[in-house]
Amino acid sequence: MRSDYVFTSESVSEGHPDKVSDQISDAIVDLFLSKDPEARVACETMTTTQKVVLAGEIRCKGVYENGAWADGALEEIEKVVRETVKKIGYEQDGFHWETFDFENYLHAQSAHIAQGVDSSGNKDEGAGDQGIMFGFACDETDDLMPATLDYSHKILQQLSADRHSGAAPFLEPDAKSQVTLRYKDGKPVAATAVVLSTQHKPGYDQGDKEAELKAYVKKVISDILPDGLISDETVYHINPTGTFEIGGPDGDAGLTGRKIIVDTYGGAAPHGGGAFSGKDPTKVDRSAAYVTRYLAKNVVAAGLAKRCTIQVSYAIGVSKPLSLYVDLHGTGTVSEEALEAALTKVSADKLGGLTPRGIRVGLGLNKPIYATSAAYGHFGRKPEGELFPWERTDLIDDLKAALA
C-alpha cells in the first residue's frame, strides 16, 4: 500500500442528467415497495431534452399483476416521475417537470428469472443474478469514507442546499465537483486542486456576476474542506469551460447506472460493475454491495483495521454466496482469515446469513428508502430512522466477541 501519493475523486449533483435518471428509477422502486414489500423492480430511465422514458421489468401486487396494470397505476407512476423532477428543480424550456414528454415501457418480469429468484418448497430465495460486489471503509473521515469523495459530495450538497433555500439564487440544478488531495503516510495533508462546474442563471459567466459566483464557490469549498488542506498552492478550476447555462438532460442525455463510482467509493476501492438505482433489494448488485459496506464499516469502526475491502460473489438462483474475501491492506490488527470467519459468524447471527433474504430482511431493505440514496452517494450517509441502515455501526461488540 502506497503511503505518499496524489488521488482524485469526483461527484455530481442531483441535477446531473444521469443522477436525474437514477432518482427517477429509485422513486419507482420506492413507489412499488410502498405498495408491495415483495415487489420486483428493474427500472431503467433515459432522460433528454423534454423527454423521460422508463423501461424494465416489474412485478407488484396491486400495481401490475398477470400482465395488467391496476386502475390508476399508470397515472400514479407518471405523477411520481414528474414530482421527482420538480423536487430537483427543473423548470427550464429544455427540461420542465410539468411539460416534458413521458413514455412508460415497464413490463412483466421474466418468468424464467422469477423461477430462479423466488423461494418455493425447500428452495430459499436465490440471487437475482450472478456477480461480484465490494464493500469498503477507511478512517480518512468521520464517515469512514475516502476523503476525496466525501468532500466532493459535501461541496455539491451545500450548493444544492443553498440553491433550494434561495441563499444562492444564481445556481441551477446541474453541477459536478472533483477534489484532488495529496496524501502523506496514508493521510490527506493538502488539497492540490478542486474542480467545480455548476449550471448558472444567465449572465453569471462574465464581469461582477461571474466574480460573485466564483467567490461563493470558493467559500463553500473552504467551509467543507478541513483546516489546513487549502493553501495558496491549491489550484481552482471553477466553470473552466466558461458559460454553463444549458445543463441537465437538455445539455446531455442521462441514463440510470452511469455514475457507479460516484455512488460508491470514488475509485478508492474496486467495483463489481453493477449499478444500484432502479433495482429492488432482491438484486444482489444492490443489497450485497450494501451489506459489504456495512461489514467493512464496522470492521474499521471497531479499530480492527484502518482500511477494509470485502468482496462477495453470487450465482443466479443460488442463495448462499460463493465466496467471501477480506483485504485489510496491511492495516489490520487481526488476520484476514480470522476476520473472514468472524464476519461469516456475525452475519449469520445478526442477519440470518449473507443470502439475499438474510440481507434484505436483516437490514430492513424491503422499504421505500432508496430515492434519498440516489444522489450524493449511497455510502458515508447518516443513518436516520429507516434510511441508510447499512451505515450503522452496531456490530462492533459482536465482531470483537467473535474474534476473542
Q: Which residues are catalytic?
A: 16, 18-19, 44, 57, 176, 244, 252-253, 258-259, 279, 283, 285
**Cell numbers representing residue 362 in the block:** 436483516
**Cell numbers representing residue 380 in the block:** 458515508
- Contacts by 323-328, CB closer than 8 A, 24 or more apart: 324/354, 326/299, 328/299, 328/304
Secondary structure class of 360 (helix, strand, coil): helix
Answer for the pair 312, 321: CB distance below 8 angstroms, yes or no: yes
CA distance 307 to 305: 5
**DSSP states along 201-251:** -TTTTSHHHHHHHHHHHHHHHHHHSPTTS--TT-EEEESTTS---S-HHHH
Give the containing element (helix H, strand E) for 7. strand 5-12
Answer for the pair 347, 353: CB distance below 8 angstroms, yes or no: yes
Contacts of 326 by beta carbon, 8 Å cutoff, 6+ apart: 299, 308, 309, 310, 336, 339, 340, 343
Query: For the chain, percent helix, then strand, then coil, each to nearest 5?
Result: 35, 25, 40
**Cell numbers representing residue 257 in the block:** 447506472
**How many C-alpha atoms does 368 have within 13 Å on its Cβ side?**
12
Largest CA distance in the chain: 71
Q: Would you give the DSSP letter of residue 253? A: -
Answer for the pair 61, 37: CB distance below 8 angstroms, yes or no: no
Answer for the pair 307, 139: CB distance below 8 angstroms, yes or no: yes
Sign of CA dihedral 329, 334, 335, 336: negative
CA angle in degrees (0–180, nearest 5) for 202-205-211: 120
For residue 375, give the nearest of 49, 11, 46, 86 by alpha carbon: 11
